[in-house]
Structure 1
């Protein structure tokens, strides 16, 4: 009983840390975009966490953990609407899990569920209508994410492969699921006015880099819960190793992104430094419990380099991602998932093959589902604000108020 209490308290602390990450995402997004869209971005982030939790309670949790029958295909299951805790003799069944109670399980997993849509929020910032984004979030967080998550974390077909697909804390199941949807959304939405002129990429600076920096540091702190909680207990050896690998990958990602961008662009770009830290965090997330400190530094370093080149590649493809979400969450999520088969305790050809199967499975599922949702919205109610609204800012167009009414600037 004492061990369960210790484990459960640790899991609740991690739940709080993952919740705190949503403030980090909000700060990062508003900091890297223009002030005339601040209210809109904050509204979306608040909507995602509130509605995401409600949807996960009503349908998501039991879609993600349906309890697949022994001979089922492990593709789809549903445990019923709402939450129904296991009860024995009128009290909560404390044998539900050796590491935590049913309620803690729901809340911890619910925090993860909202993150996928938050990734998309940053990528489509400054030009997507709020209404269609809300509809997309409801469908993607409420149904697509938990069904896809059940294939691994819910004991579905990817978990039952001869060599099971491995994703410790969500490089693919969370970050790439959001990243694939982000790239589809950005493609269907089009670039912001002024982003590409005469075939050349034009920088559109964020209005508050100090806030963006605070957002990244909050996210790094929150990742202690994201990865540390994914141990699913307070086991000292596993938890402490996971936190060490997480921190080292983040540090390596930031340093290598800063060095790479300095060599390529001949300046010290703080935003590349920040996205390199996030890339390192995303990269280590798939195998944080299986890596040595040296492995973590290698994974983070490669992620940091990938971020710089991926951001440049996204620009060359004329895709407008204001916060670098595609580079950080999709590209580094893929790399981190592959790294499980290349480095650490699980490295091997069979594990690498399983990792590839998992990546391709989620790529196809997320691309098709997000395209179907967003394309339908585009052809029916429209997904992009008017040119006038975009120039004036979404704060005025969608909310009728500015985030900084006393410091309004004339922005392009």
Structure 2
């Protein structure tokens, strides 16, 4: 009996450690979000990018702990610490930490789209709403306590449940499509489009942009591989599929983007976003193709968004996370088929439908939240504040304070 108890404790402890390591890796990705944004925005908005990401993370932690995680999984932490630890060494707590890192991606994604002209506190409030309610509600319908409500419908008419192993749709598509209403309602930055003509605004720091991409890419292996949840369910297939999708994204972007460093580094992210959903069921070569197609979507999607539709989405988060996240959900229904070397258990109809449901859900919530905030407290900086930059207007200090010393 003592031996069995010891083995059970060892297994529980191993699972807690496994998830904690994954959580730390995904937590580190938020530094990647920060540096990606800091490298893309102008110098006068770099401090704001850093503070936004860290503040959104902190607020997301509180609201997801108290509201979001219980809403998604029916587990409340408002009990004595002894009960929280339980007989599983606090597995639910570590599971919360891991999934918090996913939830906090939502405001981090949106941050890149609305950069350089958004008010600080209204966006903090929007991020809190998304992490406490919007994201957990959809999460509960795909992964959580209410999954049977939606998954049974997918299975009845599509032939299989909607499959999203690590969040191409649940995390990235939701985040990207939530960002689109914010960007549209905010409008373009001053000087971005003048009398209908496009005037691209140069980015500030390519090394910072590249650093952000690298941090995100490395942390992504925690995002995908540790989504197994338990040590005995770890999959080498997920690891290699993530790797090949990233590489496919880089190489295809290198060609389609004509050696542009911004496209190359975002191409890596495009591949990783797209493979999340089907990383556990695709063949590695299919993952490579999935990532490659994703980067092509980003290169041309970014151009269409910025130049044809004239949507000033600073980091291109709508095509990168929204559209490519949707592609990832659909790709799982294509390349997950056994006929194409996959593991099976998925259908194109269910994957397409689930991906479209996420788009509608995010757009409705995005327009509702940002529409209300825009009509009440306002979400855009005044012209003089935007001209001076968010750093001085909001935080009263620039990224390089010594430059202002006389």
Task: Tell me the TM-score normalised to structure 2 length.
Answer: 0.90
- Alignment partner, residue 11 of structure 2: 3
Moved >6 Å (runs of 4+)? 85-88, 346-350
Alignment-derived partner of residue 196 in structure 1: 193
Give the match for residue 222 of structure 2: 225
CA drift at 1:385 = 0.7
Q: Note the C-alpha offset of 1:358.
A: 1.2
- Pick the aligned partner of 2:284 from 290, 293, 311: 293
Residue 26 (1) aligns with residue 34 (2) = yes
Match of residue 167 from structure 2: 170
SS in 1 for 2:235: helix
SS at match of 2:347: helix
Alignment of 1:301-380 (within 5 A): 301-315=292-306, 316-345=308-337, 351-380=347-376
Partner of 1:384: 380
The 1:28–1:381 alpha-carbon spacing in structure 2 relative to 1, beyond 3 Å, is: same
Alignment deviations for residues 30-55 of structure 1 (CA, whole Å, 9 cap, x no partner): 10010101111111101111111111
State the partner residue of 1:397. Answer: 393
Aligned residues: 384
Pairing 1:250–2:241 present: no
CA contact (8 A) 1:57 1:83 kept: no
Q: Secondary structure, in 3 states, of the residue corresponding to 1:151?
A: helix
Residue 92 of structure 1 is matched in structure 2 by: 86
Aligned-residue offset at 1:403? 1.5
Structure 2 counterpart SS, 1:342: helix
Relative to 1, partners in 2 of residues 1:111 and 1:84: Cα closer, same or farther, differing over 3 Å? Answer: farther
Name structure 1 gaps, 5 residues minimum.
67-78, 263-267
Gaps of 5+ in 2: 1-7
SS of residue in 1 equivalent to 2:104: helix
Q: Which of 239, 249, 271 in structure 2 is aligned with 1:280?
A: 271
State the match for 2:106 in structure 1: 116
1:210, 1:120 → 2: CA distance?
A: 22
1:384 & 1:290 partners in 2: Cα distance? 43
RMSD of the TM alignment (CA)? Answer: 2.0
State TM-score, norm by structure 1: 0.89
Structure with bigger helix share is 2
Shift in Å, 1:86: 10
CA contact (8 A) 2:305 2:311 kept: yes
Counterpart-to-counterpart distance in 1, 2:49 and 2:317: 14
Describe the SS at the equivalent of 2:97. helix
Counterpart-to-counterpart distance in 2, 1:197 and 1:271: 24
Q: Which residue of 2 aligns with 1:37?
A: 45
Task: Please state how far the C-alpha of 1:203 moved relative to its aligned partner.
Answer: 1.9
How has the CA–CA distance of structure 1 residues 395 and 342 changed in structure 2, closer, same or farther, with 3 Å as cutoff?
same
